[in-house]
Amino acid sequence: MSKTVIMYTKENCPLCDKAQKVLVELQEEIPFQLELIDIYKDDQLLEKYQLMIPVVKIADEEIAYGVIHKNVIKKRLQQGLNG
Protein backbone atom coordinates (compact mmCIF):
# COMPACT_ATOMS: atom_id res chain seq x y z
CA MET A 1 0.00 0.00 0.00
CA SER A 2 1.53 3.30 -1.00
CA LYS A 3 1.20 6.45 1.02
CA THR A 4 -0.44 9.61 -0.23
CA VAL A 5 1.48 12.86 -0.04
CA ILE A 6 -0.60 16.01 -0.36
CA MET A 7 0.93 19.24 -1.58
CA TYR A 8 -1.03 22.45 -1.24
CA THR A 9 -0.12 24.72 -4.10
CA LYS A 10 -1.28 27.54 -6.37
CA GLU A 11 -0.62 28.68 -9.91
CA ASN A 12 2.41 30.84 -10.69
CA CYS A 13 4.31 29.74 -7.61
CA PRO A 14 8.02 29.07 -8.27
CA LEU A 15 8.49 27.50 -4.82
CA CYS A 16 5.57 25.16 -5.55
CA ASP A 17 7.16 24.15 -8.86
CA LYS A 18 10.43 23.36 -7.09
CA ALA A 19 8.65 21.41 -4.38
CA GLN A 20 6.72 19.38 -6.93
CA LYS A 21 9.95 18.55 -8.74
CA VAL A 22 11.49 17.34 -5.45
CA LEU A 23 8.45 15.16 -4.74
CA VAL A 24 8.43 13.66 -8.24
CA GLU A 25 12.13 12.80 -7.84
CA LEU A 26 11.37 11.18 -4.50
CA GLN A 27 8.64 9.04 -6.07
CA GLU A 28 11.38 7.26 -8.02
CA GLU A 29 12.95 6.16 -4.71
CA ILE A 30 9.87 5.64 -2.55
CA PRO A 31 6.52 4.87 -4.15
CA PHE A 32 3.73 7.20 -3.05
CA GLN A 33 0.77 8.96 -4.56
CA LEU A 34 1.10 12.70 -5.01
CA GLU A 35 -2.03 14.78 -4.73
CA LEU A 36 -1.82 18.46 -5.66
CA ILE A 37 -4.46 20.74 -4.18
CA ASP A 38 -4.89 24.33 -5.38
CA ILE A 39 -5.63 26.45 -2.30
CA TYR A 40 -7.48 28.99 -4.46
CA LYS A 41 -10.24 26.43 -5.03
CA ASP A 42 -11.12 26.31 -1.31
CA ASP A 43 -11.56 29.41 0.84
CA GLN A 44 -10.61 27.61 4.07
CA LEU A 45 -7.39 26.29 2.56
CA LEU A 46 -6.60 29.71 1.12
CA GLU A 47 -7.05 31.33 4.52
CA LYS A 48 -4.97 28.66 6.27
CA TYR A 49 -2.10 28.27 3.80
CA GLN A 50 -1.79 31.40 1.66
CA LEU A 51 1.41 32.60 3.34
CA MET A 52 2.87 29.12 3.79
CA ILE A 53 2.61 27.37 0.44
CA PRO A 54 3.81 25.05 -0.75
CA VAL A 55 2.78 22.85 2.16
CA VAL A 56 3.52 19.12 2.15
CA LYS A 57 1.27 16.93 4.26
CA ILE A 58 1.61 13.22 5.01
CA ALA A 59 -1.00 11.35 7.07
CA ASP A 60 -2.68 14.55 8.30
CA GLU A 61 0.66 15.95 9.46
CA GLU A 62 2.16 19.07 7.93
CA ILE A 63 5.72 17.98 7.28
CA ALA A 64 7.19 21.01 5.55
CA TYR A 65 6.28 24.31 3.96
CA GLY A 66 7.92 27.07 1.98
CA VAL A 67 11.24 25.69 0.80
CA ILE A 68 10.79 21.92 0.61
CA HIS A 69 13.87 19.81 1.37
CA LYS A 70 13.98 16.36 -0.17
CA ASN A 71 15.71 14.72 2.81
CA VAL A 72 13.03 15.94 5.26
CA ILE A 73 10.22 14.42 3.20
CA LYS A 74 12.22 11.26 2.48
CA LYS A 75 12.95 10.71 6.17
CA ARG A 76 9.28 11.14 7.08
CA LEU A 77 8.15 8.76 4.32
CA GLN A 78 10.64 6.14 5.44
CA GLN A 79 9.45 6.45 9.05
CA GLY A 80 5.90 5.86 7.89
CA LEU A 81 6.89 2.80 5.88
CA ASN A 82 8.82 1.31 8.77
CA GLY A 83 5.98 1.63 11.24
- Enumerate the domain spans of the chain: 3-81
Architecture of domain 3-81: 3-Layer(aba) Sandwich (3.40)
Full-model pTM: 0.91
10 Å Cβ neighbour count for 7?
Answer: 22
Tens digits of residue pLDDT in 7-57: 999 999 999 999 999 999 999 999 999 999 999 999 999 999 999 999 999
Q: Where are the alpha helices (DSSP H) in 1-83?
A: 14-27, 43-49, 70-81
| CB of 50 closer than 8 Å to CB of 38 | no
